[in-house]
Structure 1
Amino acid sequence: QRYIVKIKGVDNEISYVNNEKSLSINVLESKKEILLLSNAPHPDISVLKKSIENSDHYNVNAYQAKQYKNRMSRKDESLEAYNVVIFHQVPGTKSRGTQLVKLVLQEQVPAFFILGPESNLNLFNRLSTGLRIQQSNKSTNEVTAKPAKGFGLFTLSKQLQDYISEYPPLMAPYGDYKFNFNNANLLNQKIGKVASNKPLWTFVQRPEHKIGVLAGTGIWRWHLSEYSNFQTQDRFNELINKTIQYLSVKADKRLFRLRDPKSEFYEDEKVTFEAELYNEAYEPVEDGTITMEITNEAGKTYKFKFRKIANGYQVDGGYLPVGKYTFEATAQVHNNNYSLNGEFVVNPIDIEHLQTVADHQLLYTLANENGGAMLYPRNIKSLEEVLNNKEKIKPIAHQEYKLKELINNKFLFFVIVMLLGGEWFFRKFFGGY
């Protein structure tokens, strides 16, 4: 829903532009419920809970497996209430949580397994998760993350992709990793300086059931590492939340769909959309034709055609004027036609109007960081002294040379011709020839 908030202007107000602001409000039907079950207390648990709840879309309940089993026996809890279940080293030693995992797999609740030294891999391999880790002995490796090529389930920001290899190592089970279903690796294991194809962060593509696996514990170090370097955990939160978002979203059975269409753009931002097109067997269609018509409030229509990209189709509408727009996307594949419609707005950038008072602290910081100085009107007389004391400010003399052929000087040319002609005339007249 889109709203416009206005306040009444007052007499002698310098600008009325910042008295009005438009905004969009997306109303969520309800938060998605995430269940976090652990084998034992671990610093990963609090980091995961904090990161997931950083988003307004999720609510997290964390229990130890034994504690949650008791709650279920008292009928205080039900797995039907949860959109995703995270198992941290469950099933664990002494078979803790095995029955809970079986129940989650049976009811096809999306699951995310975090495996580590306390995981019971023999039990895990029997649970038909789609991944088996064969070990000759129970051992672990210190591994770092390396982004895998060709991952297309969702995209990571460039900031996260550039930094993800700098995260501290995790403790990963050592063994032979085998899949019973197709899988998509988000991150691979890097052991020392040797990059491998063993999955570190992967998704098993089981029919009608989404399963993710992180083959390593110690992500609390990732959380601390990022804060130490950037005083923020935005990259880590993005990684966790996009994983949960992928697992929690129900499968879209539409043959033609737009991928996460935005409802708001700014005037300095290109209007772009991505689309996916499938045939009746839910196989990606590579040769489909997709067009889009975007109409503004005045009724003017802009027509665009999608181009093929690696994992779908994309259209670039360029920069559009500020205003409200509606769109209709049409796909044609063989003899079938599909259409989608929606709306979006292009908002103005009103930074100058919203901040009408000079930010002296910002100006001082810019001057100080770039070797300059900030002077107030009362100190303007000291400007000459400040400039003279700056060692970097020195007089610079510039010399410029230009070469010009004399033949291009018409005046000089005619003078020479006249002199030569005069010499010839006088020699002829006085008998010099």
Structure 2
Amino acid sequence: MSLFLLILLLINPSIEKIEIENEKPTLSILVDNSKSVSFFKEDKSVTDFIYKLQNNNALITKFSLNEFSFGRELQILDSLSFLENETNIAKAIIGVNELQKDKIAPIILITDGNQTIGAAYEFLNTKQPIYPIIIGDTTKYVDLKIAQLNVNKYSYIQNKFPVEVILNYEGSETVNTQFSIFSDGKTVYRENVSFSSEKKSATITANLTSTKEGLQYYTASVSNLKNEKNTKNNSKSFSVEVINEQTKVLILSSVLHPDIGALKKSIESNKQRSVAVFMIDDFKGQINDYRLVILNQVNNKFNTIISQLNETNSNYLLISGANTDWNFINKQQLGFIKKAINQTENYGAIFNDSFLTFLQENIGFNNFPPLKDKFGEVLISKEHQTLLYQNINGIQTNQPLLTTFDVNNQKSAVLFGEGIWKWRAASFLNSNSYEDFDKFTGSLVQYLASNKKRDRLEVNANTIYPANSTINISAFYTDKNYQFDARAALEIAITNTATKEVTKIPFSLVNNSYQVEIENLVSGDYSYKVEVLGLNIKSYGRFIITEYQIEEQFTNANVTKLQQLAVKTGGKVYYKNQLADVTKELLENEYFYTVQKSSVKQQNLIDWKWILFFVVALFTAEWFIRKYHGKI
């Protein structure tokens, strides 16, 4: 019997069993959890609508209900606060589509249709029909708002800087109003503007004069219209940092090159700067007359100039290329060398997000044409910060393309490649303006031309934040040798200048910088102090939190976009009081059917655990019987 059961266990006979499973369609309920819902006073109506959906027995019988809420991100619905500061409807729909891929899963979208960030949701391609439930006021009111404000962050003393403001009007009557810009309670610009049913938009360009050095705050405002419901979008604050600086730049080159003209035009786009260009053989002046010296295609003819730069601790920018004599440069002990061969290579740019020497945005560096330089490895022996890395034939490297130095109160930078004139042309093609590229060279020149001693603690923060936004502040701290120090403990103390309330928050170490996120600060004027605990090293600054609430800038629900979304996806628009209608549509729609799925499973005819138990029991009994009879 034991042997028989063992053989049966090894054979393990089985049969096929067909199992039938019914898969109900999924009904996804997407709920707008942003502040605009509470602004429209729709909190209770939304929660009541969801409660009735969740407790509708007919829907529960036909569908599997999945509930989500969304603001900036999509989340599983737990509770509704209506406190999200931003709305991304497109991201929420895309997220649900990914979760319900290859399923029958209609979507109920409960929202006012006003999106503040993200792609245009009305043009999304989705296989699932969407049924928007419109909440909020659908009445069209007269409204005038500042749709967009464009201004440079920096200006120079006694210079004029442009402020471009785009005003939008919603209404059918002809109206006259006044646009103004205020600073310190005084009107610095005023212009009358009119709108009508034909003229719905106006662009105003104001040229303001920088009269005071430092950070200056302004408020752009358009007068309220009669019977205008929402006046919070009639004003917007901005800031400009006014710099008192006169800069003379010298460009010395060993060859004629288009880079020279591009740099001269770009630098002189700021009227506070002038550029003098000389061939190295023709220069007879003194470098002390200039705040910055640009060395293009250095060779042994630059020996005297480089010696003067080192003796006077003058700041410089070195640009290398196909005509650069790297054997000469390597002997100058500048803190960097290049093991170059007599062959050129094209180097693309990779933007470094962690660059903290000065504030620089990515203006499309990764897509700019490559620069040309002699091929070889770059070795740097002194402290540096790299803004751009080299990309060689699509391969990203850790080799610098543009790097900066600040050692012994001498600032310098090296661009390892010629052809920067192509960058200026490419920037113009991308934006139809040289402004982005000129701001880049302006930031680089401003840094290099400044004789200010580098601080061991550098703090990056904006000057204006919208209400209820997350405030991100980063700091870079170095030791006495100006090497990044990850051992320090940094703390920020934020003071509300009106209430004198102080909030202290420690920084967190993230990669090679210290960062802090601050939330829930009320609107107002703030000053801050960043301190390295245990050391007398501090940095001060200020910022303003405006009363601008982006979720409160809408006067009514966006019915048009929601209707477009419903039509494109095969759904239908309903309103909050049409629960019975939307329920009837979902229940009677034959497209939403239960899918019957069959699966074939192998089922064992025997239970191996019991068989194994009997085998062990029989062998044990046989052993005792044989032992008893003396057979063992």
Specify the alignment match of 1:344 in structure 2.
543
1:193 and 1:295, CA in 2 relative to 1: closer, same or farther beyond 3 A? closer
Q: Distance in 1 between matches of 2:335 and 2:310?
A: 11
Counterpart of 1:293 in structure 2: which amino acid?
A
Q: CA deviation at 1:101?
A: 3.1
Specify the alignment match of 1:127 in structure 2.
332
Q: CA deviation at 1:143?
A: 2.9
1:232 and 1:134, CA in 2 relative to 1: closer, same or farther beyond 3 A? same
Specify the alignment match of 1:103 in structure 2.
308
Q: CA deviation at 1:324?
A: 1.4
Q: Residue 384 of structure 2 contacts residue 404 of structure 2 at CA under 8 Å; is this kept in 1? A: yes
Specify the alignment match of 1:263 in structure 2.
463
1:177 and 1:318, CA in 2 relative to 1: closer, same or farther beyond 3 A? same
SS at match of 1:33: strand
Q: Distance in 2 between matches of 1:139 and 1:14?
A: 69
More moved, 240-249 vs 101-110: 240-249
1:400 and 1:190, CA in 2 relative to 1: closer, same or farther beyond 3 A? closer
Specify the alignment match of 2:533 in structure 1.
332
Q: CA deviation at 1:113?
A: 0.8
Counterpart of 1:203 in structure 2: which amino acid?
T
Q: Does 1:144 align with 2:330?
A: no
Q: CA deviation at 1:123?
A: 3.3
Specify the alignment match of 1:164 in structure 2.
365
Counterpart of 2:288 in structure 1: which amino acid?
E
Q: Distance in 1 between matches of 2:483 and 2:280?
A: 42
Q: Residue 270 of structure 1 contacts residue 320 of structure 1 at CA under 8 Å; is this kept in 2? A: no
Specify the alignment match of 1:302 in structure 2.
503
Q: Does 1:50 align with 2:265?
A: yes
Counterpart of 1:133 in structure 2: which amino acid?
K
Q: Residue 54 of structure 1 contacts residue 237 of structure 1 at CA under 8 Å; is this kept in 2? A: yes
Q: CA deviation at 1:276?
A: 3.6
Higher relative contact order (CA 8 A, sep 6+): 2
Counterpart of 1:99 in structure 2: which amino acid?
T
Q: Residue 531 of structure 2 contacts residue 539 of structure 2 at CA under 8 Å; is this kept in 1? A: yes
Q: Does 1:33 align with 2:286?
A: no
SS at match of 2:522: coil
Alignment of 1:6-405 (within 5 A): 24=239, 26-54=241-269, 59-66=273-280, 69-70=283-284, 72=285, 78-91=286-299, 95=301, 97-135=302-340, 138-147=342-351, 153-154=357-358, 156-157=360-361, 159-160=362-363, 163-204=364-405, 206-233=407-434, 236-237=437-438, 239-250=440-451, 252=453, 254-255=455-456, 257-267=457-467, 269-279=469-479, 282-296=482-496, 297-318=498-519, 320-333=521-534, 336-349=535-548, 399=592
Q: What do residues 9-28 of structure 1 show as CA deviations (whole Å, max 9, x unaligned)?
A: 79968588788776545332
Q: Residue 91 of structure 1 contacts residue 101 of structure 1 at CA under 8 Å; is this kept in 2? A: no
Q: Distance in 1 between matches of 2:468 and 2:495?
A: 19
SS at match of 2:242: coil
SS at match of 1:45: helix
Q: Distance in 2 between matches of 1:355 and 1:36?
A: 53
Q: Residue 296 of structure 2 contacts residue 320 of structure 2 at CA under 8 Å; is this kept in 1? A: yes
Q: Distance in 2 between matches of 1:128 and 1:193?
A: 32
Q: CA deviation at 1:258?
A: 4.2
Q: Distance in 1 between matches of 2:293 and 2:512?
A: 28
Q: Residue 147 of structure 1 contacts residue 165 of structure 1 at CA under 8 Å; is this kept in 2? A: yes
Alignment of 1:409-424 (within 5 A): none
Counterpart of 2:312 in structure 1: which amino acid?
E
Identity across the alignment (%):
23
1:249 and 1:320, CA in 2 relative to 1: closer, same or farther beyond 3 A? farther
Q: Distance in 1 between matches of 2:344 and 2:234?
A: 61
Specify the alignment match of 1:3 in structure 2.
184
SS at match of 2:262: helix
Q: What do residues 40-85 of structure 1 show as CA deviations (whole Å, max 9, x unaligned)?
A: 43211222233334457x5131312348623x2xxxxx43343321
Q: What do residues 140-160 of structure 1 show as CA deviations (whole Å, max 9, x unaligned)?
A: 223323457976545653x44
SS at match of 1:217: coil
Q: Residue 290 of structure 1 contacts residue 330 of structure 1 at CA under 8 Å; is this kept in 2? A: yes
Q: Distance in 1 between matches of 2:292 and 2:346?
A: 28
Q: CA deviation at 1:232?
A: 4.0
Q: Distance in 1 between matches of 2:279 and 2:403?
A: 23
Q: How many residue pairs get matched? A: 354
Counterpart of 1:110 in structure 2: which amino acid?
N
TM-score by length of 1: 0.65
Q: CA deviation at 1:350?
A: 8.5
Q: Residue 238 of structure 2 contacts residue 464 of structure 2 at CA under 8 Å; is this kept in 1? A: no
Q: CA deviation at 1:248?
A: 3.4
SS at match of 1:139: strand
1:268 and 1:398, CA in 2 relative to 1: closer, same or farther beyond 3 A? farther
Instruction: Specify which structure has the higher proportion of strand.
Output: 2
1:9 and 1:269, CA in 2 relative to 1: closer, same or farther beyond 3 A? closer
1:318 and 1:173, CA in 2 relative to 1: closer, same or farther beyond 3 A? same
Counterpart of 2:542 in structure 1: which amino acid?
E
SS at match of 1:99: helix
Counterpart of 2:465 in structure 1: which amino acid?
F
1:311 and 1:245, CA in 2 relative to 1: closer, same or farther beyond 3 A? farther
- Please report the RMSD computed on the Cα atoms of aligned residues, expressed in angstroms: 4.4
Counterpart of 2:261 in structure 1: which amino acid?
S
Specify the alignment match of 1:406 in structure 2.
none
